[in-house]
Structure 1
Amino acid sequence: MTLFAPDPFSPDVYNFTASLRAAVSLDEAGRRGDALEALQEAEGLLPDRSESAFLLGGLYERFQYWRKAAAFYEKALQSRPEASRVWHRLGIVRLHAGDLPEALDALEHAVSQAPEVPDYATDLSMVLSRMGRFEEALCLVRLALTLRPDDIHALNNAGHVLQCLNRSAEAIAFYDTALLQAPSHPVIRFGRAAALLKAGFFREGWQEYEWRWQSSRTVRTDIKAPVWEGEDLQGKTILVHHEQGYGDTLHFVRLVSLLAAAGACVVMQVPVPLVRLMERVEGVDRVFSVIPPEERFDYHCPLMSLPARLRLESDCVGPVPYLSVPADESVRQGNLLRNLAQGNPEQPDFIVGLVWGGDPRSHDLRATQTDRRRSIRLENLAPLFSVQGIRFVSFQMGLPRHQIEASGLPLMEGTEGILDFQDTGARLYGVDLLITVDTSIAHLAGGLGLPVWMLSRADACWRWGDSGSQTGWYPTMRIFRQPESGDWGRVVEDVRGTLDRLMSVYRSCQEKLPII
């Protein structure tokens, strides 16, 4: 008898199996609540058999009750710890639950017990990738491809891992090989889009980026106008609406001026924190956060679809700055912040804004895992505070702000009273430099044409390319990249050394200024 073949003559197994079948039938009939009740009934009938616990765990996995599924897979392993298939499923549900170390442990058991099964190696490579262990992930996915060279999931994983290793041109080849078998696979097409963009093949990359609607995004159906596909806009009104994160809107709002130049009346819908800033963008006629019922449009377009519609071919698009804040606000808020932060007025300190954490987006597991790689603990930035003549001001929002008190670092709070991105932009005029991780304020500073140093994780976002300290998107930005995933130490030391050299120049210039 195999692990997964229950004895049909056992009354306990018969009743238990009947409850499982009832749960499946009820779920297929759209009665999820009744199906879960049937599963709970099955729990009370659970025979003392590894096979039964595995079956129950499988149905909880089907219903996406990850922790329940894990509990029954663990129960199945108590008497059959050599069951590689159970270890594999345990790893998968732990991955879905966001428990990466536990998923890693389970999948390593599966691979060690059945190294000849390519699926186990492929899924282990995925967990290693989520943890930022990309070199190890590449070894595992190469093993899987040795076992099954035409496996599209392993080919897709290889493409993703190579892109994270900043080998995007190599990644494209793996995606292309996978698409020979599944040319309309949305996940592979979207992954290929990111690799193309990161490698600098912008025109094709933006066309591929439209596959996000089949892969991970939902097309809006609440706008009573057709999606703009590139039609003539002369005399037309087009609604351009926010999608994805704040940073994406701050990054690509520069393109709406091209729509206006084509004769369009451009209306924007964005979240409230962006409204006032967007109202000042060239080419924008009006902005709102909720579409008024009386509004009518000839077309609408998600903001991140504009590059494809406009056939964008490079990362040098239009003049910078393209964002602005009212002059009186930049003077009032900027000077207020500078005066509060300033030390000796006879020899002014250099003011540096600091942001060390992004938005974890707890509703999106993949985004949360990425945020863990892009964010840094404030205490790890302590070496920057050893540079003489600098006053640091926090522009950090959200939960990472709580790290200030625990760190004990001399960091002034700079966000008090900020209501939206326009306020934040006005405050940035009170600092000489912003140092930030890869989050929305980097795009704000870059779009305003202000000096910004961005600390990038090793698996940099596609928009920053595979390498380099400069970007065509923002001429005033300098990028400091992790040499290896998780290695913030060398990034901080590089920034500290660069700050030290900058301060030598700053002090030298001060000494040469005439005394008035």
Structure 2
Amino acid sequence: MTSPTPQTVQDEARALYHLGLKEKAEGRLERAIEFFDAALAAQPDFPEALCSGGYILQTTGHYDGALAFYGRAIELDPGYFDALFNRGCLFFALGQLDPAVADFSRAAAFQPKDAGAYSNLGAALHQSGRLAEAVDALRRALELDPALVEAELNLGSALRRMGREDEAHEAFMRAALLKPDCAEAYCGLGIVARARGEFREAFDYYDCALAFDPTLEEALSSKGSLQLLLGQFEAGWEGYESRWVDGHRPVPVSDARFDLARPETIAGKRVLVVNDHGLGDTIQFFRYVKLLSDHGADVTFAGPAKLQRLLSTCGAKVSWRDTNDFTGTFDARIAISSLPRAFATVEDSIPADVPFLSADPERVAFWRQRMPGSGLKIGLCWRGSQDFRVDPRRSPPPATLAPLAALPGVQFFALHMDVGANELPAAIASRIHVFGDGFDRGPDAFVDTAAVMANLDLVVTCDTSIAHLAGALGLPVWVTLRHIAEWRWMVDRETSPWYPTMRLMRAKAGDDWFELFERIANDIDVLAQEKEKY
């Protein structure tokens, strides 16, 4: 009996492969994978069968197997567009953005006329924070196919995050024209309008988005945040409950309500409070944890261990546990940022008794010895998170601090754990004392920062956790803000209902940081002269 020739084996494998494609097209995936497996048994080095098998594994949730199939197909044929594209999609869905970018880049290089490859590349670059590259890729996708709504949406989002509001508005408008019922497009237009200070238009766009999709969390959250910005607290807290876009909600929305006028709603209740945002939010809203404890609730806090030492200075009786540990029996499970809603907070009822945190006396004395000299002592924080998702534009460009360099009779202290060698202009860098490696390097966050702050006359900080810390410590603090700031700082006011010792320093329209720091320098000069008199 003669052995089958290589061509016969190849023909048999290809026939099995085509049978698998037919079963796949008709929705019989299990049968399709049987044919693909048979084809691979006959011819193991069969890129098309590997890719098709990988796709079925992907759609049925067998991600590791899918990646293995795609990887082998690409090994056999490094220019195999479908395998690169599919694997890029899977990496993107799994949040593995760097390999997704690599696969989409290779796919686009092999088929430079494929709009989908550039669109997906732009989406992956956008999610990676590589915004300028994302804009280039998305514009290329739209040159190839002007009808790609998703590319327009991603382009608008990337441009918005870069502060290019006019271009973002145009992209979202094009998306709305392409798909008149596109809720995401109207939401994007609303976010751009808010950034411009066009609040009435923003509300109209959000309402339009919600008319098309009443469950769109980004529109609900954005509208709620705008209501909070404008002091419409009751409605705003409801929308704010949708702030966990993309399914990152740690616990379900809680129906718990705590009424200080009705002790039975608090006393004896077992409450699990879950941390859900950054360190600044935790500091700001921990006042409500103290309220629960002070009024007889049995409180457990699932939050970052590094904040326990600082937050425990509020005197609340709280059981601490790991951030992700939600086990146990409780009367209520609630995110810490949802506590203002649970307490029905309005502007006049914000619990703003400060200080509600305190610095460690031993650390205060320790750092006092390292801060000798007379004159006005000011702590500076000019940089918050650079994560593009939390708006790094809240941080003023370091060059804008230059007016502070000319101030006589003032000592400046950096409230950063690290300061780059060339981060600041030379003139101001030479004036700022940096504490070095021993500053807040232990397991407890902000312990040294709080102690240093206690030895200062003033803290000047951008919108970051340092602002909340200084406010919670009841210290004089000036917060530098964009013209239209984050919701908690509201609009057109110099004071904060959350922190009585805080002064809000807003940039003028267009976020002119240079002009703002010239004003700040003038005001500091007045303080320095006043201190010299005493």
TM range (shorter): 0.7 to 0.9
- Give the whole-Å Cα distance in 1 for the aligned partners of 2:471 and 2:161: 29
Which of 362, 385, 401 pairs up with 1:381?
401
Q: How does 1:100-111 map to 2 (within 5 A)?
A: 100-111=131-142
2:344 match: 311
In structure 2, what is the equivalent of residue 356 of structure 1?
382
Asked if 1:431 corresponds to 2:456, the answer is yes
CA 1:405 to 1:122, structure 2 compared with 1: closer, same or farther past 3 Å?
A: closer
Equivalent position of 1:176 in the other structure = 207
Aligned to 1:280, the other structure's residue is in SS state helix
Confirm or deny: 8 A CA contact 2:206 2:219 kept in the other structure: yes
Greater CA deviation, 438-447 or 85-94?
Answer: 85-94
Structure 1 residues 86 and 273, CA gap change in structure 2 (3 angstroms): closer
CA distance 1:355–1:492, shift in 2 (3 Å): same
RMSD of aligned Cα (Å):
3.5
Letter in 2 for 1:357: R
For 1:252, which of 285, 298, 301 is the aligned residue? Answer: 285
Distance 1:267 1:18, change over 3 A: closer
CA distance in 2, matches of 1:218, 1:56: 32
Matched, 1:202 2:245: no
Q: Which residue is 1:285 aligned to? A: 317
30, 53, 62: which one pairs with 2:90?
Answer: 62
Please name the residue that 1:463 is paired with. Answer: 488
Between 1:419-428 and 1:442-451, the stretch displaced more is: 419-428
CA contact (8 A) 1:61 1:93 kept: no
TM-score normalised by L of structure 2: 0.78
- Work out the CA distance in 2 between the residues paired with 1:260 and 1:68: 47
Cα distance, 1:66 vs. partner? 4.2
Distance 1:296 1:423 in 2: 36
Task: Report if aligned partners of 1:155, 1:174 keep a CA contact under 8 Å in 2.
Answer: yes
Name the SS of the counterpart of 1:325 in structure 2: coil
Distance 1:394 1:243 in 2: 28
CA 387–315 in structure 1, closer or farther in 2 if over 3 Å, else same: farther
- Higher RCO, Cα 8 Å, sep 6+: 1
Residue ranges of structure 1 left out of the alignment (5+ in a row): 1-10, 343-347, 361-366
Question: Given the alignment of the two structures, is residue 30 of structure 1 paired with residue 61 of structure 2, yes or no?
Answer: yes
Shifted more, 52-61 versus 101-110: the winner is 52-61
Helix, strand or coil for the counterpart of 2:347? coil
- Other structure's SS at 1:469 match: coil
| Structure 2 match to 1:364 | none
Change (3 A) 1:341 1:439: farther
> For each residue in 1:211-265, what CA deviation from the matched residue of structure 2 results, as whole angstroms up to 9, or x when unmatched?
24574433359xxxx9845582233343434331111121112223443465434
Q: Distance in 2 between matches of 1:295 and 1:22?
A: 43
The percentage of aligned residue pairs carrying the same residue is 29
| Equivalent in 186, 191, 200 of residue 155 of structure 1 | 186
How far apart, CA to CA, are the structure 2 residues paired with 1:414 and 1:379? 21
Q: Distance in 2 between matches of 1:68 and 1:280?
A: 45
Q: Distance in 2 between matches of 1:212 and 1:371?
A: 15
Please say which structure displays the higher CA radius of gyration.
2
Residues in 2 aligned to 1:34 and 1:215: alpha-carbon distance in whole angstroms: 25
Aligned to 1:271: 304
| Equivalent in the alignment of 1:40 | 71
Distance 1:46 1:404, change over 3 A: closer
Q: Is the 8 A contact 1:234 1:264 kept in 2?
A: yes
Question: Aligned residue for 1:6?
Answer: none
Q: CA-to-partner distance for each residue in 1:54-95, whole Å, 9 max, x for gaps?
A: 663244223325455545544555576454444323222222
The answer to whether residue 271 in structure 2 is matched with residue 238 in structure 1 is yes
Which moved further from structure 2: 96-105 or 319-328?
319-328
Q: Give a deviation string over 1:486-506, Cα, whole Å, max 9, x none.
A: 753333333223323433444
TM-score, normalised by the number of residues in structure 1: 0.80
Once the two structures are overlaid, the 10-residue window that deviates more, 312-321 or 174-183, is 312-321
Give, in whole Å, the separation in 1 of the partners of 2:326 and 2:233. 37
| Gapped regions of structure 2 (runs ≥ 5) | 1-13, 19-45, 259-263
Match of 1:394 in 2: 414
The aligned length equals 477
Give, in whole Å, the separation in 1 of the partners of 2:400 and 2:446: 27
